[in-house]
Structure 1
Amino acid sequence: MKIGIISDTHGDMRSIEKAIPYLEKCDLIIHAGDYIDDAEYIHYATDVEVKCVKGNSDLYRFDGDYELTFSVKNKKFFVCHGHYHDVKMGINSLYKLAKREDMDVVVFGHTHIPTYKTIDDIIFINPGSLAYPRGKSDKSFGVLTIDNNIFYEEIKI
């Protein structure tokens, strides 16, 4: 199963369009917030289910959740934007939550810096930003493949 992971698109339609050819080959797409409206566009452009959460730039939206949990291929996912978990200060809050809730994969955004790390068998993924990369990173998103093994590819555009 291929899962597209995207965040912090901030309405940058040019960059989203560059990501569409990759995302339309996925079985599922996760959008970790900042602009949740972009998640709706991505769904219609790819015809792929998009699970999304609101970010700090989505405060104007009444609908949508700030956190989401679900399972895929017997892996428990936790998705948030990260601003309520102080991710700019590190992932300690997310780590504690993932340990407590027995999560396998944590997806977040907010920092605009791509991250992929495993701590105590918990995978933490921040796909970076398609709109405003930070920390000398490029515009990016990712594709997580889950089969007998787990493989993550950061895609720069």
Structure 2
Amino acid sequence: MRPEAERALAGVDHIIHGGDIGQPGIITALRRIAPVTTIRGNIDSGDWASAYADTELVRLVGRTIFVLHDLKTLRINPVERGIDIIISGHSHVPKVDTVNNVLYVNPGSAGPRRFKLPITLATLDITPDGLRPVIHDLAAR
């Protein structure tokens, strides 16, 4: 794991991985930092990857979070389901957006550079005042 990523994740309470893990050792390393929720991405194959689902629903600090790899495959209505946050990966393009009071976060990719995209991860503070997502550019550290 990149030292920049470890510094950015210092003090987090929970890690959510949006897929494209790449190798099982990544999740092992992340679990040394905090509990991890992860899903399988399209590059995750082999026996080790079968341990991960295609989607996960997790509740943290009173918020409901739906995790899937490719946002284009979202087949549920998050508003109707009471989902507060959607976390996805696939495109590796870091993005934060709010639609119908649902926060959408793609943290980008903290692994090897993909295409010409930045190397990033996202943190999300959940406070009584609301949600504060931040995209961290690891190459700038």
TM range (shorter): 0.7 to 0.9
- The answer to whether 1:34 aligns with 2:20 is yes
Q: Which residue of 1 aligns with 2:40?
A: 54
Whether contact under 8 Å (2:68, 2:74) holds in the other structure is no
Q: Which residue of 2 aligns with 1:68?
A: 56
1:150 to 124, 131, 135: 131
Q: What SS does the corresponding residue of 1:97 show, helix, strand or coil?
A: coil
Whether contact under 8 Å (1:142, 1:153) holds in the other structure is yes
2:68 to 66, 71, 80: 80
User: Percent identity of the aligned residues?
Assistant: 23
Letter of the 2:67 counterpart: V
Alignment of 1:1-157 (within 5 A): 13=1, 16-35=2-21, 37=24, 38-44=26-32, 46=33, 48-60=34-46, 61-82=49-70, 85-86=71-72, 94=74, 96-130=76-110, 131-134=112-115, 137-148=117-128, 149-157=130-138
Aligned length: 132
Q: What SS does the corresponding residue of 1:55 show, helix, strand or coil?
A: coil
Residue deviations 1:8-56 (CA, integer Å, cap 9, x gap): xxxxx3xx33201221310111111111621222112x2x111111111
Whether contact under 8 Å (1:40, 1:50) holds in the other structure is no
Q: Give me the CA root mean square deviation.
A: 1.9
TM-score (norm 1): 0.76
Q: Which runs of 5+ in 1 are unaligned?
A: 1-12, 87-92
| Cα distance change, pair 95–65 in 1 and its aligned pair in 2 (3 A) | closer
Whether contact under 8 Å (1:94, 1:106) holds in the other structure is no
Letter of the 1:32 counterpart: G
Say which structure, 1 or 2, has more relative contact order (CA 8 Å, 6+ apart).
1
Q: Which residue of 2 aligns with 1:10?
A: none
Moved over 6 A (4+): none
Whether contact under 8 Å (1:112, 1:132) holds in the other structure is no
More helix as a share of residues: 1
Structure 2: how far apart are the matches of 1:21 and 1:118? Answer: 27
Structure 2: how far apart are the matches of 1:97 and 1:41? Answer: 33
TM-score (norm 2): 0.83
Q: Which runs of 5+ in 2 are unaligned?
A: none
Displacement of 1:101: 2.0
